[in-house]
Amino acid sequence: MRKLLAASAILSADAAFVPAPMSASHDASNCGASAHSCRSGSARLVATMEEAGFAIKKAGSMSRDERLRSRYSGLKFVPEGGWADNAVDFSYDELSQSMNAIPTFSRGDVTTGSIIGFEPNGALVDIGVKSSAYVTLQEMALVKPDKPENCLALGAEYEFVIVSREDENGQLMLSRRRLLFDTAWESVAKLYADDAVVEGEVVAVNRGGAMMLVEGLRAFLPGSHFMAGQTPSEDFIGKKLKVKFLDVDKENSRLVVSYRKANADNQISDLTVGTVLKGVVTAVKPYGAFVDLGGMSGLIHISQISCDHISNVEAVIPVGTELKCMVISQDKGKGRVALSTKTLEREPGDMIKNQQSVFDNAEATAAMYQERLEAERKAREEAAQDVIFGLESVFADPTVPDAAAPAAAAIPFEE
């Protein structure tokens, strides 16, 4: 340090470096340059030495000042054409202001950034700070992508939330998934309030039901809300189903959907009591059989299979049986449909003795059944009307004179 201070005291600000002079034994004929060039170079060096005022008083040894000059001096750089006369149009104040213009972020802040590069496990994001930020694959989307290119576009702008402080390199960690998570729950809550039908993808199955991705969130599909008498199998993984929400609870991260309700609500509005439908038996229970009606499921109770007594449902309509049945009741709120084949029998016991005749004449038998129901309804209305008239005559006031009595008195009696 003392050497540097001494050198700065000796040398001026524009001191020039002076290399060692050429020795007297330098042969211009052996030099790579021409003789004229070599001589002129020597002259330039000597001129530079003279301008710098550098000289060695005693050949073969150097004083302290001479060593400092030779060690710390240098050639003054002058660009081609010389220095421009105009001053640099940028002050230190402006430099300080530009430094202060760089934004600072804290954990939890939301900002917009553009994608500037991809890496195997994430992406680099420019958010306007001194160092590029980083978002991992896990935090890019609601569902982790295989590659960053699958969910982000180079040069595109997205919103991110800051999830960490600056590391030793000044880099911030970002997350897009947290913003998408809140947006997805808001969307799901609105769909649940509107009782809307949405599409979801089956991603896993278990004994209790299936796990689905609905609006980017994981939802549970109970086996009882899949198809009547069935639970989802591994064959359904990757398939998309129309579902409705049964429960939406963001605080507990609980999302429950129903496939049966979505299909029942779509079709049950078109059903009326007495309608004849085609279906396939999907499950048999001791109390009846479940029938798939083309996405909607209904139940034929054991008492509605035939007019004759049945003790074993599977013996009459096993799983896989294609049949025709009549709608006898429906519950739109619960998505339930009650079916019957007994009402399609022309003779009691036809479902046991000759099922095919029942199905072949189902529409005609249903029409006769509707006519019989209509006749019974009219008979009940007439009977109710007669009862009302009878009650009116019983409770009529006897003190009120009959309107026909004066007219009868005015007619003279003839013998």
In order of start, what are the domains of the chain with their CATH numbers? Answer: 2-22+39-72 (no CATH), 110-175 (2.40.50.140), 184-263 (2.40.50.140), 269-368 (2.40.50.140)
Cα torsion angle, 89, 91, 96, 101, sign: negative
In contact, 307 and 356? CB cutoff 8 Å: no
pLDDT computed for residue 413 by the predictor = 43
Phi-psi region of 209 (alpha: psi -120 to 50; beta: other; left: phi over 0): left
- Find all residues with CB under 8 Å of 331, minimum gap 6, and list them: 337
Q: Are strands 133-136 and 276-285 parallel, antiparallel or unpaired?
A: unpaired
Structural tokens at position 167: 């590391």
In contact, 163 and 177? CB cutoff 8 Å: no
CA-nearest of 166, 95, 156 to 126 is 156
CA distance linking residue 7 with residue 9, whole number of Å: 5
* H-assigned helices in 31-86: 35-52, 64-72
pLDDT computed for residue 409 by the predictor = 46
Q: DSSP assignment, residue 415?
A: -
pLDDT computed for residue 24 by the predictor = 43
CA distance linking residue 289 with residue 287, whole number of Å: 7
pLDDT computed for residue 277 by the predictor = 87
Structural tokens at position 407: 């007219």
| Residue type for position 218 | R
pLDDT computed for residue 103 by the predictor = 73
The residue to which tokens 């005693």 are assigned: 58
Residues recorded for the chain: 415
In contact, 365 and 330? CB cutoff 8 Å: no
Task: State whether residue 290 is helix, strand or coil.
Answer: strand
pLDDT computed for residue 46 by the predictor = 44
Tens digits of pLDDT across the chain (415 residues)? 444 444 444 443 334 444 444 444 444 444 444 444 444 444 444 445 555 556 677 777 888 887 777 776 655 666 776 666 655 666 777 766 666 666 778 888 888 899 999 998 899 999 888 788 999 998 998 888 888 888 898 999 999 999 988 887 888 899 998 888 888 999 999 988 888 888 999 989 888 888 999 988 899 998 878 765 567 778 888 888 888 898 898 888 899 998 877 776 666 666 778 888 888 898 899 999 998 876 677 899 999 999 998 889 999 999 989 999 998 887 766 667 899 999 899 888 889 988 888 998 888 888 888 888 788 888 888 888 877 777 766 666 555 555 444 544 444 444 4
Own/partner pairs for 205-209, CB < 8 Å, 24+ apart?
A: 205/231, 205/232, 205/233, 205/234, 205/236, 205/237, 207/231
C-alpha dihedral, 256 to 214 to 218 to 201, nearest 10°: 110
Structural tokens at position 246: 């049964």
CA distance linking residue 183 with residue 251, whole number of Å: 14
Structural tokens at position 64: 């302290």
pLDDT computed for residue 135 by the predictor = 92
CA distance linking residue 346 with residue 128, whole number of Å: 82
